[in-house]
Amino acid sequence: MTSTVECDLLIIGAGPTGLYAAYYAGFRGHRVAVVDSLPELGGQITAMYPEKQIFDVAGFPGIKGRDLVEGLVQQAGSAKPEYLLDRTATTLETDDDGVTVGLDDGGSVRAGAVVITAGIGKFSPRPLPAGEGWVGRGLEFFVPSFAPYAGKDVVIVGGGDSAFDWALHLEPVASSVTLVHRRDAFRAHERTVQQVRDSSVRIITKAQVTALRDTQGRTGPGGGALAEVDVEVAGETTTLPAQAVVAALGFIADLGPLQQWGIEVSKRHICVDPAMRTNLPRVFAAGDITEYPGKVRLIAVGFGEAATAVNNATVAIDPGAKVFPGHSSEEG
Distance CA 74, CA 93 (A): 31
CB 118 within 8 A of CB 104: no
Contact by Cβ (8 Å): 10, 284? no
- Between the two ends of the chain, the Cα-to-Cα distance in Å is 43
Q: Flag whether 100 is marked binding.
A: no
Residue 17, annotated as binding a ligand:
yes
Question: At residue 33, what are phi and psi to the nearest 5 degrees?
Answer: -125, 150
Q: Which of 152, 151, 158, 149 is nearest to 131 (CA)?
A: 158
Half-sphere exposure of 186 (CA within 13 A, CB side): 25
Cβ atoms 131, 314 nearer than 8 A: no
User: In the structure, how many helices (H) and strands (E) does the chain have?
Assistant: 6, 22
Measured distance CA(103)–CA(122) in Å, rounded: 15
329 is in an annotated binding site: yes
Question: Are the beta carbons of 150 and 173 closer than 8 angstroms?
Answer: yes
Eight-class DSSP state of 126: P
Q: Is 49 annotated as a binding residue?
A: yes
Q: Is 290 annotated as a binding residue?
A: no
Of 248, 217, 9, which Cα lies nearest the Cα of 109?
A: 9
- Rounded to whole angstroms, how far apart are CA atoms 211 and 228? 9
- Which stretches within 28-100 are classed as H helix? 43-48, 65-76
d(CA 211, CA 251): 21
Binding annotation for FAD: 17, 36, 44, 49, 89, 123, 288, 329
Binding annotation: 17, 36, 44, 49, 89, 123, 288, 329
